[in-house]
Copies of this chain bind each other. A is one copy, B any other.
Amino acid sequence: MSVTAAAGFRAAGVAAGLKSAGPDVALVVNDGPLSSAAAVFTTNRVKAAPVLWSQQAVADGVARAVLLNSGGANACTGPDGFADVHASVEHAAQLLSVGAADVLVCSTGLIGERLPMDRLLPGLDSAVAALSGKGGADAADAIRTTDTVAKTATVTHPDGWSVGAMAKGAGMLAPSLATMLCVLTTDAVAEASSLDAALRAAVRTTFDRLDADGCMSTNDTVALLCSGASGIAAPDEALAEAVRAVCADLAAQLLADAEGATKEVEIVVSSAASEDDAVEVGRSIARNNLLKCALFGNDPNWGRVLAAIGTTTAAFEPDELDVAINRVQVCRGGAAGDSRDGVDLSGRRVLIEVELHAGEATATVHTNDLSHDYVEENSAYSS
């Protein structure tokens, strides 16, 4: 049901010719009565034009629509690229009879090339004409790039309100955020400050702990729009939990669809001195190309796990480290433990458990293996 699972929203996805085939322009419109909103963006200092725009547009906690496109990131396009965003927003705002400053924009695709405005603007006309309370699936489909499937999620609260969402992302998945565009909608009654708190908390432990390839995008955007159409006020805690559940669901879908991956790797770091330490260790393991290649080759090479841990600033003693791979404790006290021959890596899921023996904190980071297909997809992407 995607973004139209929540009442008060219409959406559409249409083909404007930005990509060689398939839908590439999506629109999500909030018909209210509320128009509160929140969003988080990439922390990359090189931000795409739509990010620069949307950061400003959402700063007042109000948004009425989100315009999205695949087929071009509109990043590193200079003042001309920003003018293109502005023209798109003005056009959409006029069609929807809303203020331009209440329209957010998300783009994804190749960096460094202008969008073909002669196709995008007519595409907006088509998208507005196609808007429907059942258009969520079409919108989710239109924002795909190398995604093999559209990603959507929904949570319905027993009190009678819902959160719906769609996301795209299959590569350049690293904090913060994992490269992706994501729009969440809710028909709960909530203020922008509650939305903001819920969204930031959810992103911190879901999308921000995906690290497929260590590469941070220029375009990442996660937006949450609130229509209040259910008429039911959501307590902050319930809203936060629903938003978190939707984000966790989508993050798992992103991981499952990561470019060229044959493994989904869950790295659980325990007994850390702090959550930051646990995340740092998990991320260092997640980014170790040699380990990721080993996992692709079904090789439980725990030495590479220790070598990765050793590059961090986390509190630990090398001779106290324990590592288990798929429940076999291959490393005990910093040296060989049970036989690596007992580790079954034939399946798609890999669980790496690390004990730092330095405290009480825990964190989980998700990544993939490094495969021939990853190299293939990313060597041929722009050509």
Contacts and interface: CB of A to CB of B under 8 A. Distances in A.
B307 A218 contact: yes
Contacts of A316: 45
Interface in A295-345: 296-299, 301-304, 306-312, 316, 318-319, 321, 330-331, 333-336
Contacts of A136: none
Contact of A333 (B78, B110, B171, B290): B78
A381 B299 contact: yes
Given A78-B333, A370-B375, A44 B382 contact: no
Secondary structure call for the A interface: loop
A113 B303 CA distance: 9
Interface of A: 44-47, 73, 75-78, 80-81, 110-114, 171-172, 213-218, 287-290, 293-294, 296-299, 301-304, 306-312, 316, 318-319, 321, 330-331, 333-336, 370-372, 374-383
Contacts of A321: 46
Given A44-B311, A213-B290, A216-B307, 9 more contacts: A44-B310, A73-B303, A77-B335, A111-B301, A111-B307, A172-B290, A214-B287, A371-B375, A375-B375
Protomer copies: 2
**A75, A288, A298, A307 — most chain B CB neighbours (10 Å):** A307
A374 to B, nearest CB: 7
B310 A216 contact: yes
A46 B307 contact: yes
A299 B379 contact: yes
Contacts of A111: 301, 303-304, 306-307
B378 A290 contact: yes
Given A290-B378, A293-B374, A76 B299 contact: no
Given A378-B289, A382-B294, A306 B336 contact: no
Nearest to A46: B310
A380 B297 contact: yes
B76 A293 contact: no
A215 B292 CA distance: 11
A45 B277 CA distance: 15
